[in-house]
Structure 1
Amino acid sequence: MIVVTDTSVILNLCLIQRAELLPQLFGKIICPPSVRAEFERLAKYDPRFAGLFFPEFIEVKPVGKIQPELGANHRIHPGEIEAISLALESNAQALLIDERAGRQAAAALGLQCIGILGILLQAKSKRLIESVSPLIAQLESQGQFWMAPGLVKRILELAGET
């Protein structure tokens, strides 16, 4: 299985020390160069992510062609545009992405999108983690990662943690 990751997912999984879940769940993980560059910039300049290192298991792969319909969408960041384009040209089984605008654009192009909460839920169902609740709390406190309360409630229900 090949999946493409955007910056937010991998950055926040590294923050909560759970990046190893990605190859365990999905096998081969790839990203465009802009995702690695954004990760490294945030790890260098954003105190929340100080000291994080880009995971060696992620293969950085250049994007052949940017999808033209994405370039006109100003709500999507360049890294997301490249990640979506790479997922399409690589025939990836999924795109790991959290941002709403990017998810909507990717879904409109037929990509399956999985966010960090979906990853944690899959990890629990495969018994790779014991509980999603403390990891959600870490994301909120350490990463200042915003999640809709209704979504968190639904994830906790699906995980059997309510």
Structure 2
Amino acid sequence: MEKEVVSNTSSVIFLAKLDIFNLAKNIFSKIIIPTEVADELFKKNSPENERIKRELNNFLIEKKVEKIKDLPLGGGERAAISLCLEREIKMFLSDDKKARVYARSLGLRSIGILGIILINLRDKKISKKEFIRLLNEWIRKGYYISPLLYAEILKEIEEF
């Protein structure tokens, strides 16, 4: 089990939309979010807010960033990467391709929603049927996966 991960805004939103905080708990002891991410999460009232609030101060921990790096990314991504570096947390939770590239260039490892559900499938915490249901639900809830990548994912999970 990874100890801690720092997340950007969209990953927390998708964890809530898919109602899979439990799957993240199989991998991480806690998800740390910068104050900037917490502000973005609660800027709008959404159905996911209740799920997020239930996890706040329990599994989802808000921390202040001392100095935010000047990166050409959104505020939440900049703050999350900066928090990883400040607290020497090597794992960054994000599905933003550009943010993941910057994180890697700074020596961080990245994981996204797909990685979380794949690890749970590999570790037999969920079935292949549940994995496919979650993947399809994630796409229905607004995440884009190219048809080619979708086919590759389905081919990859055949071995599980």
Distance 2:28 2:147 in 1: 27
Distance 1:6 1:38 in 2: 10
Instruction: Give the Cα separation in 1 of the matches to 2:152 and 2:84.
Output: 27
Q: 2: distance between equivalents of 1:122 and 1:78?
A: 28
The match for 1:25 is 27
Structure 1 residue 11 corresponds to structure 2 residue 18: no
Q: What stretches of structure 1 move > 3 A for 4+ residues in a row? A: none
Q: 1:104 aligns with which of 71, 83, 101?
A: 101
Shift of 1:28: 2.2
1:81 to partner: Cα distance: 0.2
Write 1 or 2 for the structure with the bigger share of strand.
2
Match of 1:133 in 2: 132
- Three-state SS of the structure 2 residue aligned to 1:4 is strand
Tell me the TM-score normalised to structure 2 length.
0.85
Residue pair 1:4, 1:30 contacting (<8 A) in 2 also: yes
- For the aligned residues, what is the CA RMSD? 1.8
Inter-partner Cα distance in structure 2 for 1:82 and 1:149: 32
Pair 1:89 & 2:70 matched: no
Offset of residue 18 of structure 1: 0.8
8 Å Cα contact 1:121/1:155 also seen in 2 = no
Per the normalisation by structure 1, the TM-score is 0.84
Structure 1: which 5+ runs fail to align? none
Give yes or no for contact 1:5–1:96 (8 Å, CA) kept in 2: yes
CA contact (8 A) 1:4 1:83 kept: yes
Distance 1:118 1:151 in 2: 14
Deviation at 1:15, TM superposition (A): 0.7
Question: 123, 144, 147: which one pairs with 2:145?
Answer: 147
